[in-house]
Amino acid sequence: MTRHLIDDVAVGWDELGTDLLDDAPPALVNALTGGEHWPSRTLDHLVTPDGSPPVRMSVTDTTADEPDMQWGYVLHRKGVEVISLLHEDIGPLVSWSIDPRTAFNDHPAAWSSLDAPPSIRTPRGNQPQSAPAAAPAKAGTPRTAAGR
């Protein structure tokens, strides 16, 4: 996951696709994507104001306060740390083993470093029949090609 998300991208991501789910059980991929498949897309066509080549942004204490920076993610061996940059300097850890169909509260104030991740479990009848994948994926409504 680290290689795909960080090491193998020059600048950044425009969209993460279903290629993150390549090794996941087919039933899980279908539940998350409605059976659709699309590749991740990198930020390839960036133009800087001075015409210089774009570079990967490094988040520091100074740049984290920029208006468009709302979330930070730190990959750890045990999971991904989700940081609401509008409210916290650190965040709770979401385990890599969590079922990716788990819904999360997406309000930044809910992501306190002192609390567990604000998950909203799916109803018992919708629990997975196969083991969850080890790779994280965005939970929520599957996106259609027109919605991407």
- Provide the β-strand partners of residue 92: none
**pTM higher than 0.75 for the full model?**
no
> Does residue 30 register a pLDDT over 90?
yes
Task: Tell me the C-alpha distance between 140 and 101, whole Å.
Answer: 7
Q: Is the pLDDT of residue 81 over 80?
A: yes
In this model, does residue 35 exceed pLDDT 50? yes
The pLDDT of residue 133 is above 80: no
Average pLDDT over all residues of the chain: 77
Which pLDDT score is estimated for 18? 93
Q: What pLDDT was estimated at residue 148?
A: 44
Alpha helices in the chain (DSSP H): 2, 26-33
For residue 125, the SS3 value is helix
Phi-psi region of 110 (alpha: psi -120 to 50; beta: other; left: phi over 0): alpha
